[in-house]
Structure 1
Amino acid sequence: MCRSVIDAHIHLDMYTDSERVQILKELEETSVESLIAVSNNLASSLTQLQFARMDSRVKPAIGYHPEQSLPSERELEGIMQLIDDNHDCLIAIGEVGLPYYLRQDELGIDVAPYVSLLDRFMQKAVDCDLPIVLHAIYEDAELVCDMLESYHITHAHFHWFKGDDAVLERVLRNGYVLSVTPDVTYEQEIQHIVKQTPLSQLMVETDGPWPFKGRFAEEMTHPSMMHHSIDTIADIKELRVGEVYRQIYETTKKFYRL
């Protein structure tokens, strides 16, 4: 049985140097073929490109994470120029989206500038013919779907998606893909999403170094954890685990043009 997996979303630059060395060293023995390394800002984007030059299994995406203060115009222009200069070796635009959690902490924050920022990244994804990796959960996903539709974007990845069935149905109807983290092994909300989502639109990720609970409590988040995610997905969908491995692997390869 082929057990190869691809980490569809990881913040490789946020690990310590020793942790990153360990992860890369152990990829082959844990049947992890490659890592989709998303970026948080300009410095992060530069770092992911550097990692990709050192190790071809690291597939870099450039973007600006929405759960933080807005970038200066100078930083944003730097990110856009970096995309233009490196689009041939990029796997995607990301991570980009809307600041759901920031709005919970800072009531009254104006979301309009974040929408404008996301709009610029969507235009860049279209211009460069690259997939887009989205942080868009709950009600934010509705607005993001509106924006994707206006740009006729079909290659959209909603990472660690959370939302009600109506939003999920729209995301799936548009042909977008979702990825789930190791919390699928213990979170009923995520298990419900997996149950509703066709296997052909599912991927697995770690969002490392984000920590997890359950059997992963107190552990460094490692791409090998995705094997447990796949076992859980197989149980939820009552499918043979080999079929789940095959389909998720093929979906990820096809979506990211690997």
Structure 2
Amino acid sequence: MHDLTVDTHIHLDMYTEEEKSKLLHELEPYKITNLISVSRNLESCRHNLEIAKQDSRVKVALGYHPEQKIPDVEEVSDILTEISHHKDQIVAVGEVGLPYYLRKEDSSLSLEPYLELLRVFLHKAKELELPVVLHAIYEDATIVCDLLESFSISEAHFHWFRGDEKTIERMINNGYMVSVTPDVVYEGEIQKLVKDYPLRQLMVETDGPWPFEGPFSGQMTHPKMMHESVCKIAEIKRCDIKDVYNNLYLNTKRFYNL
């Protein structure tokens, strides 16, 4: 088990068919046991479910990515129906959260409709006892922590997280999980997060096909990159790399009930 890993956050439906085929073919040689493919909208939810039907190593989260316009009532209803209908096949509700970058682009954007949408998804996750995958960074993370506490949700996974020390401490105390992307290899902010966050609450991800810089510049984002992330985490934590692999893998298996 010592060098097995799971990509806990990838948008598999956003790869081309050729890229997806290559990536899935190469999982076993790179000792990737599973991919958690998160959804962006209704079409993405349905696409991911189809991919998972064809390859049992792909596990699916259904939700609506917040960095886009608010969906109409019918789309939200259809996504909730898909979540309920496939509750035994999916591993989480996600990706859901708040639109940090959209608000950076347009300061007049109202947050309230996004908060209401997030409440709807958190209510569904609580009702079905499913974990939730979150896009919530910097000041948005504080708001999301408030919501998670109000719903008494402890099974929360903050992906690609950035935030202040006070929020990080709160997340640690609440038992929330954080996943680390390959930019931990070259980005100081993420290295500090890894230093501060307990190993028992860490996982790894790619957020593919999102591209990375540093040693990954110009490459298609591939789950094999996580092995370099694990090496960096072991270095930062000053832990034996086998122990780090083991911890990250068991954390993920437990959280996602794999």
Task: Tell me if TM exceeds 0.5.
Answer: yes
Secondary structure at the aligned position of 2:9 is classed as strand
Q: Tell me by how many angstroms 1:81 deviates.
A: 0.7
Distance in 1, matches of 2:204 and 2:57, equals 16
What's the CA shift string for 1:135-156, capped at 9, x where partnerless? 0000100110010001110100
> After the TM superposition, which segments of 4 or more aligned residues of structure 1 sit over 4 Å from their partners?
none
Task: Give 1:103's aligned residue.
Answer: 103
Q: Tell me by how many angstroms 1:26 deviates.
A: 0.3
Distance in 2, matches of 1:206 and 1:155, equals 20
Distance in 2, matches of 1:209 and 1:155, equals 25
Q: Tell me by how many angstroms 1:127 deviates.
A: 0.8
Distance in 2, matches of 1:135 and 1:189, equals 17
Match status 1:165 vs 2:165: yes
Task: Give 2:191's aligned residue.
Answer: 191
Output aligned runs, 1:1-258, within 5 Å: 2-258=2-258
Structure 1: where are the runs of 5+ without partners?
A: none
Amino acid in structure 2 at the alignment position of 1:40: R
Structure 2: where are the runs of 5+ without partners?
A: none
Distance in 1, matches of 2:36 and 2:172, equals 22
Q: Tell me by how many angstroms 1:107 deviates.
A: 1.4
Secondary structure at the aligned position of 1:247 is classed as helix
Q: CA RMSD in A?
A: 0.6
Equivalenced residue count is 258
Secondary structure at the aligned position of 1:7 is classed as strand
Distance in 2, matches of 1:235 and 1:35, equals 25
Percent identity (aligned): 54
Q: Tell me by how many angstroms 1:199 deviates.
A: 0.3
Q: Tell me by how many angstroms 1:115 deviates.
A: 0.2
Distance in 2, matches of 1:186 and 1:95, equals 25
Distance in 1, matches of 2:2 and 2:198, equals 21
Amino acid in structure 2 at the alignment position of 1:213: E
Q: Tell me by how many angstroms 1:158 deviates.
A: 0.3
Distance in 1, matches of 2:174 and 2:70, equals 29
Distance in 2, matches of 1:248 and 1:125, equals 24
